[in-house]
Chain A
Amino acid sequence: MYRYDDIDRETLADRAAEFRDQCARRLAGEMTEDQFKPLRLMNGLYLQLHAYMLRVAVPYGALNADQMRKLAHVARTYDRGYGHFTTRTNLQLHWIKLRDAPDILDELASVGLHAIQTSGNCIRNLTADPHAGATADEVDDPRIWAEVIRQWSTFHPEFTFLPRKFKIAVTASPKDRAAIRVYDIGLRLHRDDEGALSFEVLVGGGLGRLPHLGPVIRERLPVRHLLSYMQAILRVYNRHGRRDNIHKARIKVLVAALGPAEFARQVEEEWSLTDKAAVDLPGTELARIRAGFAPTGFETLPPVSAAFESAKASDKAFSRFARRNVMFHKTPGYALVNVSLKAIGETPGDCSADQMDVVADLAERYSMNEVRVTYEQNLLLPHVKLDDVPAVHAALVGAGLATANITLISDIIACPGLDYCALANARAIPIAQDIARRFSDPVLAENIGELKIKISGCINACGHHHVGHIGILGVDKKGEEFYQLTLGGSAEDDAAIGQVLGPAVSAERVAPAIDRLVEVYMRERRDGERFLDTFRRAGLPMFKEAVYAEAH
């Protein structure tokens, strides 16, 4: 994995020093909260319902063991011993004291971590396919390009005060594991018959109040021009994006208002005037970054492991774990091992400091020192030998991290909701816990198959409810928490915005409603259909009737 050099490290140190100075001025009363607020937000420090929340960036979801241990140490020392991994692959610490924030940033900087651009109207921490470097279906390693963008977007002087926040996702696979269609910019790498790489560029996707799937504005952008083209997109947005209404300030609104073709024309015009050579990285720098992600240390192994197969044959729980959580690696004899942060009855995405340490140790010992954070709020050990999977599984069982439910009904995305967040209308976590408990029988869950439930505590949609197979949105009805259900959404290759099922229901009726929906699916499904497929074939009315019939 790419290691920060002196330039990267000194930049983090300079940032931490700047923030220490700003915090000191605030604590000494030299700055008002109003003046301080935008500065702390630029360092990922939010004031929430009960305390400060620090959002630590995990660029493209990639961590090494030392970084994971440092997160554990920070959670243990400065917070309540746990953290929350988010749909943007960041880690949120929810119980931070302002006076500790500068020390925390110093600690993070010591291992190449930071909270830069995890808030504010700037280019945010970017996400990439969590299977990067391990999956057979990628045409290149998307982390290379994500790192290129990370550096370019760090303290970009022109794009620090955009109309609104700006999020970028990168994938290099036909199978979309980075939700690129719901990002401000989604990038998908292609390789042509001659081996040349290009980007398919999508702009103007997003969730929130006005969900949009991003249209393609350029089919094939030669990869060497990535940064100059990004500058052109951002410049058109910075100059012409709406600033009169915070709810209409995202780039999706500009793209929709102009139409994708006119937006693309403006970008191309700006790009044609751009001195590309001044912006685009020279080939030597691209090669340097690429070298940072070169695969090293893979052994030549047989594709089948006797240890793995015999564990599957003798241990039912391991067998289920292997089916649900273990995936093919492009290198024979290796696997990707998903670490579920969705233990039944726990908070989705939460991870204790002790669990982080366990994962760090496993990464170091068994996964070439790498851990990934996924936007579905789980962790992933990307390079585990099949021979070692039983040992990894045993260690995960010991840490409460071996729930075999990846992509199943209890693998729920949920934002922190009203338990923490000042923006929320309703709680998300207890709803997720209710549903997970109801479907805690692993045999039943596996029989139901892939079903993605996504819960947001408010319309800002941090829990991606619009693109859940079943989406759940918390709303406020005269001071009471209610939940609106949507069906048929997806954030993947078959991306779609879900359709509203009917009137919002009260908290205690959510899990029973999910029961009804699952019953309809189980009754109606045809061979091999997932919940989503059955819904799309059979349509909304049948599901609606099942949920609302008993209300009368």
Chain B
Amino acid sequence: MPRLIRFRDGVAAWAEDAFTAVDDDQPMPQGDVIISLARFQREGRDLLAQGRNLGVRLASDEEPEDLVVDLQRLSVLALTFPKFRDGRAYSAARVARERLAFRGELRAVGDVLLEMAVPLVRCGFDAAQPADLTTPEQWTHAARRFRHVYQRAADGREPAFAERLGG
């Protein structure tokens, strides 16, 4: 089970994972769970009615728009990287944060590697389950490598053109 790293104010740290990731063919355990979109569409309402905190895991060809109004009731949106080279989840993350105003935990799962630190954080992820053996210290360092950015994204960093206006 990959461990969970959480970003707060640009610093990564190991985090307790209160959620159990549940596959579609597994029986539903007690407590807070992360389930697939298909299972959420079948069982989500009941689970929420039980007062559980709920997360949904989207495959890379599923889109946060598919969750529509339910998105705001979720505690976790887990976006899957089947391979680190598959960058669809970066667009999904920005849409969830910037267009759908999702404020819960945005978690990167799957083939999640240290070298993805910058785009993950910039696109609005605040949690990741690294598939490599990297540590939060390495993630903090990697995410801070660049002093400047050239475009606005979901992390609120001031882009170069705004910096120049200030300077």
Q: Which residues of chain B are near A39, meaning CB under 8 Å?
A: 115
Among A18, A151, A152, A158, residue most surrounded by chain B Cβ atoms (within 10 Å): A158
- Determine if B145 and A18 form an interchain contact, defined as CB atoms under 8 angstroms apart: yes
Q: Which residues of chain B are near A288, meaning CB under 8 Å?
A: 164
- Determine if A161 and B152 form an interchain contact, defined as CB atoms under 8 angstroms apart: no
| B42 touches A (CB below 8 Å) | no
CB distance from A150 to the nearest CB of B (A): 9
Q: Mark A284-325, 1 if CB is under 8 A from B, else 0.
A: 110010000000000000000000000000000000000000
Cα–Cα, bound, A160→B84 (Å)? 11
- Determine if A239 and B63 form an interchain contact, defined as CB atoms under 8 angstroms apart: yes
Cα–Cα, bound, A154→B159 (Å)? 12
| A29 touches B (CB below 8 Å) | no
| A155 touches B (CB below 8 Å) | yes
User: Chain B residue with minimal CB distance to A237?
Assistant: B91
- Determine if A161 and B148 form an interchain contact, defined as CB atoms under 8 angstroms apart: no
| A331 touches B (CB below 8 Å) | no
Q: Mark A107-127, 1 if CB is under 8 A from B, else 0.
A: 000000000000001000000
- Determine if A155 and B149 form an interchain contact, defined as CB atoms under 8 angstroms apart: yes
Residue of A161, A243, A279 near B84 (CB, 8 A) is: A161
Beyond A152-B150, A155-B118, A157-B123, is A239–B145 a contact (Cβ under 8 Å)? no
- Determine if B90 and A160 form an interchain contact, defined as CB atoms under 8 angstroms apart: yes
Q: Mark B140-160, 1 if CB is under 8 A from A, else 0.
A: 000001111111110000001
We find that the number of chain B residues with CB closer than 8 angstroms to chain A is 32
- Determine if B152 and A279 form an interchain contact, defined as CB atoms under 8 angstroms apart: yes
- Determine if A161 and B91 form an interchain contact, defined as CB atoms under 8 angstroms apart: no
Q: Which residues of chain A are near B115, meaning CB under 8 Å?
A: 38-39
From A5-13, A77-85, A98-106, give the one contacting chain B.
A5-13
Beyond A157-B122, A162-B87, is A282–B165 a contact (Cβ under 8 Å)? yes
Q: Mark A27-39, 1 if CB is under 8 A from B, else 0.
A: 0000000010011
User: Chain A residue with minimal CB distance to B81?
Assistant: A161
Cα–Cα, bound, A157→B149 (Å)? 9
Beyond A18-B145, A158-B91, is A152–B164 a contact (Cβ under 8 Å)? no
Residue of B85, B149, B165 near A121 (CB, 8 A) is: B85
- Determine if B164 and A161 form an interchain contact, defined as CB atoms under 8 angstroms apart: no
| B70 touches A (CB below 8 Å) | no
Residue of A17, A157, A285 near B118 (CB, 8 A) is: A157
CB distance from B146 to the nearest CB of A (A): 5
Q: Which residues of chain B are near A15, meaning CB under 8 Å?
A: 146
Cα–Cα, bound, A282→B165 (Å)? 9
- Determine if A238 and B152 form an interchain contact, defined as CB atoms under 8 angstroms apart: no
Q: Mark A414-452, 1 if CB is under 8 A from B, else 0.
A: 000000000000000000000000000000000000000
Beyond A7-B163, A285-B165, is A157–B148 a contact (Cβ under 8 Å)? no
Residue of B86, B145, B163, B165 near A14 (CB, 8 A) is: B145
Beyond A7-B163, A158-B94, is A151–B150 a contact (Cβ under 8 Å)? yes
| B119 touches A (CB below 8 Å) | yes
- Determine if A282 and B161 form an interchain contact, defined as CB atoms under 8 angstroms apart: yes
**Residue positions of A touching B, CB distance < 8 A:** 5, 7-8, 10-11, 14-15, 17-18, 35, 38-39, 121, 151-162, 227, 235, 238-239, 243, 273, 275, 278-279, 281-282, 284-285, 288
Can you report 8 residue pairs joining A to B where beta carbons are below 8 Å apart?
A17-B145, A35-B113, A160-B87, A161-B119, A162-B87, A239-B91, A273-B99, A282-B165
**Residue positions of B touching A, CB distance < 8 A:** 63, 84-88, 90-92, 94, 98-99, 113, 115, 118-119, 122-123, 145-153, 160-161, 163-165
5 smallest beta-carbon distances between A and B, as pairs: A161-B87, A157-B122, A157-B119, A285-B161, A158-B90
Known A153-B150, A156-B151; 19 more pairs at CB < 8 Å? A7-B148, A7-B160, A7-B163, A14-B148, A18-B145, A38-B85, A38-B115, A39-B115, A158-B87, A160-B90, A161-B84, A161-B86, A227-B151, A235-B91, A238-B88, A238-B91, A239-B63, A243-B88, A285-B161
